[in-house]
Amino acid sequence: MLVVGLFGYRFLEIARQRSRSMKILVVLAASMLSLEVLVEPFGADTHRQLERKVRQHMGKTGKSLLEAAEEVLLRPSDAIVQPLGLPAMHSHEIYPQKLVTQHPMVGYLHLTVANLTHECEDMIVCSMTCIEPPKVVQTLTDFFALTSRKMHIVGPVVRLWKTTEQTMAEQSPGVASFIDGLLQMHGRQSMVYISFGTVFWSSQPEMVWTLLDVLLEKSIPFIMAQASPLCQLPEHVAQKVRTSRIGLITPWAPQQLILEHPATGWFVTHGGFNSILESVHAGVPMICWPFAADQPLNTVQLTENLDIAYELLEVRTGEPGLKPIYRTGKAPKGTLAAVREETRAVLDRAFGEDGARKRGNILKLREVSLGMWAERGAGRLAAEEMLSSIGL
């Protein structure tokens, strides 16, 4: 048996060459919704059609597989698309940001993920159905059932042990004393935690500094994890945050412990899947700033369907990013003034009645999430069934 991640197609190929009968499981540590972006319409032959189109383009243009895949599969346009289970949007809204580094990689990943999804046996899904559009769950389940395969929806795959102050103090003493101090001074749910994950970072960092500025102006305490190697913190920003005494910027943060901490009120996130899962499990509503991959669609699911998040629209950058947004009918202005104005408005709503409704909604999901691994919880049962299916 082989267990691979979503980008492990080469391993699957090698394993299949050695043994046709080897059972190959794929772990989906992303939203089920993300497969929609990566695999596109699900059908018996869609992956072959995708690859054929790309190979034809290679033949015509003499481009490499990587370049051709990028050009054929990543085509932001003004066309109106209707992703499964989500409201309509322009196709270019799947690319809201100009990325800091642009390697032609994504189109190729589409092809390998499409192949992998068709050629693996079962899939182990780290998500839970309550945060996915029901239509996506149904379509994927049907797609796997078509060839007698199964999706084992075992989520939430998060840390299940209880938060204690001691573990926070052990993992990150600076953050622990800072956040405990905030709780004393500012009370419960007062702090905004900011993280764009370990990779993503804005191509216009002034927009992030504007967000910090607005938080300081409103005396809202915050912790920002700036793990991305692409982030360069200017000294004047570091200085301003340090002297404020209500902000902390740290290269690493114990994210799940921060989210579980009573001082934490909101999570500014890129909308990556693990962050979403951890936020739901902790019952912390989100303010999303999506960059790429499944993040833009995840964000729409959180804001429009689940009503547990806001999306910052004025932080969009780059050519497709600044095109009109279908939902609002307007294009982002692309200025720091617009970012400032929107951030102020969103924070006012977040800390008012509107935000309280979103918090209520995510607390209900937290209850569901906590039950998933209880005695007869759906996640636990699915995991047990998966183990039985491989003879354990």
Binding site for ligand NAG (CB under 6 A): 9, 51, 111-112, 115
**What's the closest the beta carbon of residue 43 comes to ligand NAG, in angstroms?**
15
* Residues 193 and 268: beta-carbon distance below 8 Å: yes
Q: How far apart are CA 92 and CA 106, in angstroms?
A: 15
* Residues 77 and 83: beta-carbon distance below 8 Å: no
Q: Which is nearer to ligand NAG, 66 or 363 (CB)?
A: 66
**What's the closest the beta carbon of residue 59 comes to ligand NAG, in angstroms?**
15
**What's the closest the beta carbon of residue 103 comes to ligand NAG, in angstroms?**
16
Q: Which is nearer to ligand NAG, 69 or 280 (CB)?
A: 69
**What's the closest the beta carbon of residue 275 comes to ligand NAG, in angstroms?**
29
Q: Which is nearer to ligand NAG, 69 or 249 (CB)?
A: 69
Q: Which is nearer to ligand NAG, 51 or 70 (CB)?
A: 51
**What's the closest the beta carbon of residue 114 comes to ligand NAG, in angstroms?**
8
Q: Which is nearer to ligand NAG, 58 or 322 (CB)?
A: 58
Q: Where do we find the tokens 């360069």?
A: 232
Alpha carbon 235 to its chain centroid, in Å, reads: 30
**What's the closest the beta carbon of residue 50 comes to ligand NAG, in angstroms?**
9
Write the CB contacts of 323 (distance below 8 Å, at least 6 apart in sequence).
Answer: 76, 78, 90, 92, 93, 331
Q: How far apart are CA 369 and CA 363, in angstroms?
A: 10
Q: Which is nearer to ligand NAG, 112 or 127 (CB)?
A: 112
Helix axes 106-119, 65-73, angle to 10 degrees: 90
Helices (H), 264-352: 273-282, 295-300, 318-321, 336-350
* Residues 50 and 110: beta-carbon distance below 8 Å: yes
Q: How far is CA 50 from CA 40, 107, 278, in A?
A: 9, 10, 34
